[in-house]
Amino acid sequence: MENATRTDIKSLTLEELEEELASRGEKPFRARQVYQWMHVKLARGFEDMHNLPKKLREEWGTCFSYTALSAVQVQESRLDGTKKFLFELGDGNLVESVWMKYRHGNSVCISSQVGCRMGCTFCASALGGLIRNLQPSEMLDQIYAITLLTGERVSNVVVMGTGEPLDNYENLMKFIRMLTDDRGLHISQRSVTVSTCGLVPQIRRLAGEGLQITLALSLHAATDEKRKKLMPVARRYSIQELSGACRYYFENTGRRITLEYSLVGGVNDSEEDAELLSALAGPLGCHVNLIPMNPVREYSFQGPDRTRIRAFQNRLEKNKINGTIRREMGRDIDGACGQLRRRSMSDFGGNKTC
């Protein structure tokens, strides 16, 4: 974060840091040294960087801001070991991140904004609207803090927590480039997934970034009419425009898009819905991720029952659409997006951040 006097040092790429330090008369090796402290050794502040002259550390403390998250709450699932972290940012706002252990490695789900302005009618993160964007440093910090707290390497990152990542486009791009930089944590681009509610111009722009990440599109309905009931963004972009952007993304990147489809009991879970979804997903070669709706206290939507989920999946299968039911990780620990932050805000006696 850039304020009047201090530059957010952890949001600078190595090249930017080199330039910044050169303008302060530092030798080029310093930038690499500090970058490594921040992004490989995951230092929590300048005071950790013990091979740097003390005078320099003190000077930097006055001209740079150094973000680091503190965990205010950690919930661990007794069912599957999933951990949900509530972090406090430098300005007192709260964000949540989730750590999931899979056989193929550890996955972290991060937030990209404090709150969200997309207004999906079933999502806890939409309650209270958008507070602010997260800086690249604050997105990286969620992964760094979890690595330090668990003592385990993170191999997959999904940007599927609170916020609409493509509504914070520039910061997201910088975050991805720094996260996958071989001079930082060096997570493979193929192990990064970005989930969007479907901002068409940004999907087209993303297609030209030369990244190998996976894009997941929250579709949730196969007709404009139904989609508009669940997602206000559907009033801006039609499914036809979205399909066009998906095709463009695939043609430019060679990466298949995943369609996310949250099953809402009695709303979008009929076999006819499955037929319409198949007709969309088939030509695009998309994989479909079925998410049973996770009920949020403030809304009346219900999750569908098991038999309807199975019937939906069977219908996709019959149409040769690859559809998996997402394992519900951490169901016993406020699993749905934004629920932990919501609950914590009301526990603090009301709206701490809204």
185 touching ligand SAH, by CB under 6 A: no
> Does 329 contact ligand SAH by CB under 6 A?
no
Q: Is 255 helix (H, G, I), strand (E, B) or coil?
A: coil
CB of 286 to ligand SAH, least distance (A): 14
- Interacting residue with ligand SAH among 67, 77, 180, 294 (CB under 6 A): 294
Site string for ligand SAH, 215-244 (x = CB under 6 A): ---x--------------------------
The answer to the question of residue 120 lying near ligand SAH (CB under 6 A) is yes
Q: Quick check: is 116 catalytic?
A: no
Q: Residue 69 Cβ, how far from ligand SAH at the closest point, in Å?
A: 19
Say whether residue 336 binds ligand SAH (CB under 6 A).
Answer: yes
Give the binding range for ligand SAH (CB under 6 A) out of 60-68, 81-89, 147-155, 291-299: 291-299
Using CA atoms, how far residue 251 sits from 171, 204, 211, 299, 320, in Å, is: 25, 11, 13, 39, 22
- Pattern 244-273, ligand SAH, x by CB under 6 A: ----------------x-x-----------
Interface residue with ligand SAH among 77, 135, 180, 195 (CB under 6 A) is 195
Q: Which of 138, 197, 337, 354 is catalytic?
A: 337
Task: Quote the distance between the C-alpha of residue 306 and its chain's center.
Answer: 28
Asked about 63 being catalytic, the answer comes back as no
Contacts to ligand SAH by CB under 6 A: 118, 120, 122-123, 160, 164, 195-197, 218, 260, 262, 291, 293-294, 296, 336-337
